[in-house]
Structure 1
Amino acid sequence: MLAWNQKSFLIVDDFSDFRSSVRSMLRELGVKEVDTAETGELAIRACSQKRYDFILHDFNLGDGKKNGQQVLEDLMTDRLISHESVFVMVTAENSQAMVMSALEWEPDAYLTKPFNRASLAQRLEKIVQRKNLLKPILQALDRGKPAEVLAACVSLSKQDPRLAPLCLRYKADALRDLNQHEALEGFLKSILTDRPQPWAYVALGKLLFKRARHGEAQKVYEDAIRAFNAMPVLYDGLADVLMASGDNGRAQKMLEEAVRLSPYAVRRQRLLGKLALENQDFDGASKAFRQAVSQGQFSRFKDPETNLGLAQALISRGGERGLDARTRVEINQTLGEVAKEHTSDAGLQVRARLMKATSVAGSDPEMAAKLTEQAMARLEGMEQFLSADAALAVASQLKQLGQESAGAGILKSCAEIYGVDPAVMQSIARQTDDPQILGAGKAAIDLNMQGIRSYRAGKLGEAQDLFRRALALQPKNISVALNMAQSLLHVGVQNLDNASLQECRNSLKMVGMMPDTDARYDRYQKLRNKAFGE
Structure 2
Amino acid sequence: MQDYSNKRFLVVDDFSDFRSSVKAMLRDMGAKDVDTADCGEDTLAMCRHKRYDIILHDYNLGAGKNGQQVLEELLIGKLISHQCIFIMVTAESSQAMVLSALEHEPDAYLTKPFNRASLIQRLDKLVERKDALKPILQALDKHDPAAVLAASTTLSQQDKRYAPLCQRYRAGALRDLGRQDELETLLTGILADRATPWACMALGSLLHARGQLPRARDVYEQGLQSFPMMPGLYDGLAAVLLAQGESSRAQQVLEDAIKLSPLAIRRQMELGKLALENQDFASASRAYRHAMEQGRTSIFKSPDNYLGLAQALTAQAGDGSLDKRVQADINQTLGELQKGYSNDPVVQVRARLTHAQSLVKSGDPALAKKLTDEALTQLGELDQFFSAAVSLQVASQLRELGQADASDALLKNCAEVYGDDPAVMQGIAKQTDDPEILGAATEAIDFNRQGVRSYQMGRFADALELFRQALQRQPKNISIALNTAQSLLRLGGDKPDEALLDECRRCLEAVRMMPASDPRHERYQLLHNKAFGA
The offset of 1:315, in angstroms, is 1.3
The range that moved more, 339-348 or 360-369, is 339-348
Query: Contact (CA 8 Å) 1:425, 1:441: kept in 2 or not?
Result: no
Alignment of 1:73-112 (within 5 A): 73-112=72-111
SS at match of 1:55: strand
SS at match of 1:88: strand
SS at match of 2:80: coil
Alignment of 1:222-233 (within 5 A): 222-233=221-232
> Structure 2: how far apart are the matches of 1:498 and 1:135?
47
Query: Contact (CA 8 Å) 1:84, 1:138: kept in 2 or not?
Result: yes
Query: Contact (CA 8 Å) 2:146, 2:173: kept in 1 or not?
Result: yes
The offset of 1:477, in angstroms, is 1.6
Query: Contact (CA 8 Å) 1:353, 1:375: kept in 2 or not?
Result: yes
Structure 1: give runs of 5+ residues left out of the alignment: none
> Structure 2: how far apart are the matches of 1:9 and 1:155?
30
> Structure 2: how far apart are the matches of 1:271 and 1:105?
18
> Structure 2: how far apart are the matches of 1:472 and 1:139?
47
> Structure 1: how far apart are the matches of 2:430 and 2:153?
54
The range that moved more, 89-98 or 171-180, is 171-180
Alignment of 1:404-443 (within 5 A): 404-443=404-443
> Structure 2: how far apart are the matches of 1:479 and 1:449?
11
The offset of 1:450, in angstroms, is 3.1
Query: Contact (CA 8 Å) 1:59, 1:67: kept in 2 or not?
Result: yes
> Structure 2: how far apart are the matches of 1:24 and 1:533?
53
Structure 2 residue aligned with 1:71: 70
SS at match of 2:318: helix
> Structure 2: how far apart are the matches of 1:478 and 1:423?
15
**Deviation sequence 1:387-410 (CA, Å, 0-9, x none):** 111111111111111111111111
Structure 2 residue aligned with 1:40: 40
The offset of 1:162, in angstroms, is 3.5
The range that moved more, 419-428 or 118-127, is 118-127
Structure 2 residue aligned with 1:254: 253
Structure 2 residue aligned with 1:216: 215
Taking only the aligned residue pairs, the percentage that are identical comes to 59
SS at match of 1:467: helix
TM-score normalised per structure 1: 0.95
Letter matched to residue 443 of structure 1? E
Alignment of 1:109-128 (within 5 A): 109-128=108-127
Query: Judging changes above 3 Å, is the alpha-carbon distance between structure 1 residues 473 and 158 closer, same or farther for their aligned structure 2 residues?
Result: closer
The range that moved more, 492-501 or 272-281, is 492-501
Alignment of 1:146-185 (within 5 A): 146-185=145-184
**Deviation sequence 1:44-99 (CA, Å, 0-9, x none):** 12222222232111111113x10001111111222222323221111111011010
SS at match of 2:192: helix
> Structure 2: how far apart are the matches of 1:281 and 1:170?
40
Query: Contact (CA 8 Å) 2:44, 2:74: kept in 1 or not?
Result: yes
Letter matched to residue 310 of structure 1? L
**Deviation sequence 1:239-261 (CA, Å, 0-9, x none):** 12222222212211221111111
Letter matched to residue 237 of structure 1? G
> Structure 1: how far apart are the matches of 2:420 and 2:523?
17
> Structure 1: how far apart are the matches of 2:144 and 2:314?
49
Query: Judging changes above 3 Å, is the alpha-carbon distance between structure 1 residues 147 and 348 closer, same or farther for their aligned structure 2 residues?
Result: same
Query: Contact (CA 8 Å) 1:225, 1:231: kept in 2 or not?
Result: yes
The range that moved more, 327-336 or 40-49, is 327-336
Q: Is 1:444 equivalent to 2:436 in the alignment?
A: no
Query: Contact (CA 8 Å) 2:461, 2:491: kept in 1 or not?
Result: no
Letter matched to residue 197 of structure 1? T
> Structure 2: how far apart are the matches of 1:462 and 1:182?
31
The offset of 1:472, in angstroms, is 3.5
Structure 2 residue aligned with 1:340: 339
The offset of 1:331, in angstroms, is 1.6
SS at match of 2:319: helix
> Structure 2: how far apart are the matches of 1:75 and 1:497?
44
Query: Contact (CA 8 Å) 1:385, 1:514: kept in 2 or not?
Result: yes
The range that moved more, 124-133 or 9-18, is 124-133
Structure 2 residue aligned with 1:239: 238
> Structure 2: how far apart are the matches of 1:359 and 1:48?
43
Structure 1 residue aligned with 2:510: 510
Query: Contact (CA 8 Å) 2:460, 2:491: kept in 1 or not?
Result: no
SS at match of 2:98: helix
Query: Contact (CA 8 Å) 2:489, 2:500: kept in 1 or not?
Result: no
Structure 2: give runs of 5+ residues left out of the alignment: none
> Structure 1: how far apart are the matches of 2:138 and 2:523?
30
Structure 1 residue aligned with 2:272: 273
> Structure 2: how far apart are the matches of 1:349 and 1:523?
28
> Structure 1: how far apart are the matches of 2:458 and 2:28?
70
Query: Judging changes above 3 Å, is the alpha-carbon distance between structure 1 residues 405 and 82 closer, same or farther for their aligned structure 2 residues?
Result: closer
SS at match of 2:317: helix
Q: Is 1:192 equivalent to 2:191 in the alignment?
A: yes
SS at match of 1:370: helix
Query: Judging changes above 3 Å, is the alpha-carbon distance between structure 1 residues 21 and 193 closer, same or farther for their aligned structure 2 residues?
Result: same
> Structure 1: how far apart are the matches of 2:451 and 2:443?
12
SS at match of 1:319: coil
Query: Contact (CA 8 Å) 1:277, 1:285: kept in 2 or not?
Result: yes
The offset of 1:24, in angstroms, is 2.8
> Structure 1: how far apart are the matches of 2:346 and 2:287?
24
Letter matched to residue 370 of structure 1? K
Query: Contact (CA 8 Å) 2:492, 2:500: kept in 1 or not?
Result: no
Structure 2 residue aligned with 1:15: 15
